[in-house]
Chains A and B, each alone.
Chain A
Amino acid sequence: MSKISAILITGRSFGQGIGKEHGRFSEKYLYVVKSCEMNPEDMVTLGVKRGNHVRIRSEFGETVARVTDPTQELPKGAIFIPYGPWANLLVDPKSQGTGMPLLKGVPVELEASAGIEEPVLTTPEKVARLPRTEGAKVICNVVCPFCGCLCDDLEVYLQGDKIATVDNACILSLSKFLNYERERIHSPVIRKNGQARQVDLDEAVGHAAQILAKSRYPITYGWSTTSNEAIRIGVELTEAIGGVIDNTTTICHGPAILAEEEVGISTCTLGQVKHRADLIMYWGSNPLQSHPRHLARYSAGSKGRFRQSRDDRTLVVIDVRKTYTARVADYFIQVEPNKDYELLKALRMAIRGEELEQEAVAGVPKEMIEELAELMVNCEFGILFFGVGLTMSAGKLRNVDEAISLVADLNTWTKFTIMPMRGHFNVAGANMVLSWQTGYPFAVDFSHGYPRYNPGDTSIIDVLSREDMDAALIIGSDPFTTFPGPIAAKLSEIPLIVIDPHRTRTTEQADVVIPSAPVGIEAGGTAYRMDGVPIMLRKLREPPAGLKSDVEILQMILDRVKELKA
């Protein structure tokens, strides 16, 4: 049986985003996250076709995935698996002192596999949804709590107190609004000796507070799908219990933050991009699948004051694979996996007019690098959006450091800016709130009584791999799905408290589960857009009886912890 070596690329896909909103145990989600896409030539070499299975081995683990129709053109020797628990079995859990695991560009070995052990499926909870009628109540200017775009022009139609439909929403947003009642948790749960028991909120809060107050070095993690108000209380709570507070920046744009701290950042708001940008670049990002309305509202496809249409803008996509976004580009530069740093260096040389000695850098011909450099220097207003493709491949923060330096160099000739494509709707807010409360954006350690920041030491991946922690509070996140497998497993060995509206792999392992009202639907609050603009999220309907917002739950835990500590 033939084997081939390949590079693993994990990432977002529509199916993963939609499936996630159908529920972490839904058939749709489990089907999608256990599939993979490959180059057709590799499929022939392995002797597999659509629907067959391949065994994927890396240094860190192995899994079997179903080969599916490619939705993108992958280079030979690359395999794509959507983010999920199976992809996380293969990624590098070591953070190499940066606090972040390596999620892209992991060397793997592939071989055809006879079959796959299908996941155990649960029947999705049926949601009664009424069609939109003449009498439906319309709520305008609703903010979408899905991705960092925070689109604020949604129109939600309520039939009674149920959401009937949403206008102006992308498919991911629509999935969120129409399916948010699936796999809901309606009552707090305490789990002891493997036995789950439904309790009232007061008892659950009391039990959670006891775990945290007794703990020596607890961690609080998540925070990017809740409001700034909740994060503020979270910081106070973490300080009271002397633990570590970290947010999902650790597994997305942590390297971008580290690079910003080293070299600063020349950025702008999305409004400026919409009105002024004539050169738009996406590097290691596929917004049409991760932030679907980004192009329509803010970049290439938007109508601004000085740039009226797509014809007024040049779109450049730099990626290792030809994604949907690459299809619509004017220039598509296919960079070799893990070679972004080299290409950035070459571009910096080219814009300074220095001669490139190599005929090609990172698989990109010298002429193309020079043409791209000329395009960048001659634009009136340029923007470089970068995604996890740049931050989580080899080089990590050094890639972003180089990208920011490239943009800084370009400002000698023209106006050029750079912006990370933030994933969760309030991950930028988590960084902001932590920064103004503690001085640091993530991985803040209060164990000494004052805030201490040392990614690679105080970041959650490293704390977990050292097994230093003795309790954890997870809010609005599912680390059992998003963390590398061996790291996530360590969470099940300690007392675990989870605050989440929905059933997830993490709630299934938790000792205390406290259901909450989802922010942006059943609770209001403030969130930061990817460009650092704060936007108010609206409460559209009352939560089911007994469910409270994250702010109220955290305040109750904090009050109880203070009583116990006193």
Chain B
Amino acid sequence: MGFQRRGRIGKSETRDQVTLERRLLFREYQLVWNREKCIGCGICVDMCPKEAMLYIPAQFKAGRRVSDRPRIDFDPDKCVLCGECVVSCPMDQALIMKVDGKKFVPVIDVNAFAMVTRKTSL
């Protein structure tokens, strides 16, 4: 990941995954998106309370998909690593949230299940 300022979210990308990481003095938050596991439904994008995710939809022509599969992207400046996207993701292991290397989803584990999402009808 290289050098980054403490507390700031850094973003790194490999062929298989995108990682958002925030290092604090005693804690380290990590959100990993596995490209291969994701099918690109975009539910996480609509759920994100901070509008920190971008949806790149697939293009359809007369009912056929004519582009790459849909995908998502993250804006590290807007993300607060709450884990709402992890909770809403219907695919297993597509989004993983870790704190100090252990599976931990703040919106669930600190009893703060986000009630209000950006698209309230969801």
Contact = CB atoms under 8 A, between A and B. Distances in A.
A332 interface: yes
B36 interface: yes
A31 B120 contact: yes
A166 to B, nearest CB: 8
Contacts of A125: none
B113 A131 contact: no
A39 interface: no
Contact of B87 (A69, A174, A368): A174
Interface in B93-120: 103-105, 108-111, 113, 115, 118-120
A32 B121 contact: yes
In this complex, which of B69, B87, B91, B110 has the most chain A Cβ atoms within 10 angstroms of its Cβ?
B91
B91 A327 contact: no
B41 A328 contact: yes
A37 B43 CA distance: 16
Contact of B43 (A14, A165, A297): A14
A371 to B, nearest CB: 8
B108 A165 contact: yes
In this complex, which of A28, A288, A334, A365 has the most chain B Cβ atoms within 10 angstroms of its Cβ?
A288
Nearest to A133: B109
Interface in A21-39: 28, 31-32, 35, 37
Contacts of A165: 105, 108-109
Nearest to B46: A71
A333 B120 contact: no
Contacts of A259: none
Interface residues of A, number: 49
A71 B41 contact: no
In this complex, which of B64, B90, B108, B119 has the most chain A Cβ atoms within 10 angstroms of its Cβ?
B90
Contact of A296 (B91, B105, B110): B91
B122 interface: yes
B2 interface: no
A327 B57 contact: yes
Interface in B46-74: 46, 57-58, 60, 62-65, 69-70
In this complex, which of B57, B65, B104, B122 has the most chain A Cβ atoms within 10 angstroms of its Cβ?
B122
A13 B90 contact: no
Interface string A353-383: 0000000000011011001000000000000
Contacts of A60: none
A327 B71 CA distance: 10
A121 interface: no
B100 to A, nearest CB: 12
B111 A327 contact: no
B10 interface: no
A137 interface: no
A57 B60 CA distance: 34
Contact of A13 (B42, B105, B110, B121): B121
Contacts of B120: 15, 31-32, 35, 68-69
A292 interface: yes
Nearest to A170: B90
B113 A69 contact: no
Nearest to A334: B63
A123 to B, nearest CB: 14
Interface string A137-171: 00000000000000000000000000011011011
Contact of A69 (B39, B62, B104, B121): B121
Sort chain B's interface into a size bin.
35 or more
A329 B60 CA distance: 10
Contacts of A131: 109-111
A453 interface: no
B111 A129 contact: yes
A230 B91 CA distance: 33
Interface string A512-526: 000000000000000
A90 to B, nearest CB: 18
A308 to B, nearest CB: 11
A163 to B, nearest CB: 11
A240 interface: no
Interface string A307-320: 00110000000000
Given A330-B65, A333-B63, A310 B122 contact: no
B103 to A, nearest CB: 7
B109 A132 contact: yes
A288 B45 CA distance: 14
Contacts of B36: 309
A371 B115 CA distance: 44
A324 interface: yes
A168 B87 contact: no
A295 B119 contact: no
A302 to B, nearest CB: 9
B39 A71 contact: no
B37 interface: yes
A327 B58 contact: yes
B80 to A, nearest CB: 18
B92 interface: yes
Interface string A245-256: 000000000000
B87 A324 contact: no
Contacts of A332: 60, 63, 65
A423 B87 CA distance: 21
A37 B122 CA distance: 11
B122 A13 contact: yes
A130 B62 CA distance: 51
List the 9 closest A-B pairs by CB distance, nearest first. Answer: A292-B90, A68-B121, A14-B122, A328-B39, A324-B41, A296-B91, A69-B119, A296-B92, A171-B88
7 contacts: A32-B121, A178-B113, A295-B39, A324-B41, A327-B57, A328-B69, A330-B65
Given A71-B119, A129-B111, A171-B88, 13 more contacts: A14-B122, A31-B120, A35-B120, A71-B46, A71-B122, A131-B110, A295-B91, A310-B39, A327-B57, A330-B64, A331-B64, A331-B65, A334-B63
